[in-house]
Structure 1
Amino acid sequence: MSKIETLRQSAAVSNETRLERLASQIEALRQAKHQSVEDLATTLEPLAQAMAALADETRQTLAEIERKSREQGETFTRQLTESVEGYKDAAKEANKAAKSLDKAGQRMEWTHYALALMTGLFTAALVSAFWLWLRPPIIQNSLDAQAVAEYLKPAVIEALKRSKNK
């Protein structure tokens, strides 16, 4: 419970007791049969003083409540302003961190491209080196047409003889 609520409750309780007292005095005034104006003035004077005191106390209590409300409003406004400034600072820091992460991401992207390119080139160089190192031997056959003709001559003559006989 805040101070303002406590003040309001105490003022309300105090006002209720005074109002009950005033109500009983007013009721007594109604029921009383006064003989003269002086008796009536004597009876009304404490009632008027009590009402004036109640009005003064109510005015003071309302002024105190207003002062406390104003203080609490100023405190709340100050705290709210400090919180907003803190949030703005945090937002600026978060923005800086986001920009830094974005730059790091871009650098990492180019690093990955370079790494992929270098891996491809290195792999191609290794494959080419192993291909050349482990390649199968080159077999070159050269035919001497005259030697082949001499070698095949008896077989061709024999085949021609047989085809003529048939």
Structure 2
Amino acid sequence: MRLVIQRVKSASCMIDEAIFSEIKQGLLVFVGIEDADTAQDIIYAVRKIVNLRIFSDADGKMNLSVKAIADGSILSISQFTLFAATKKGNRPSFTKAGNPIHANMLYDQFNQALAAEIKTVTGVFGADMQIALQNDGPVTLLLDTSEVRQSDSDK
């Protein structure tokens, strides 16, 4: 899984010119899935996302997780383009993105696991969406679970 995690003051997902989902303060998470991803990737990613201490405490230090802030929530958006290959030519290739059936299944499982931890809203897998956000900081992090799989296999 390849995830882009953004700390936001607010974020929304529009489909067909209507707001489909929205959050106030929390995290906007763009989710890319590849064929090698499994339930273990979901467990790792969810645990990491909900416990990342990237919100300011009373002293202004990044010391709080999304679970620790008032009304913290997550907007999860599927985005296969996170697996774009841009090394050759000018047109990105998306062959590294997961098979849509596999990716949709894992995306649903990922969102269910997130929702078990914190209020989570989503976009629609495969839909044409317009995402609006008010970035906070900005704080933007990249998380790639394949790096964890690789380091585990190196042991």
Task: Give the shorter-chain TM-score range.
Answer: under 0.3
More strand by share: 2
TM-score, normalised with respect to structure 1: 0.18
TM-score, normalised with respect to structure 2: 0.20
Q: Larger radius of gyration, structure 1 or 2?
A: 1
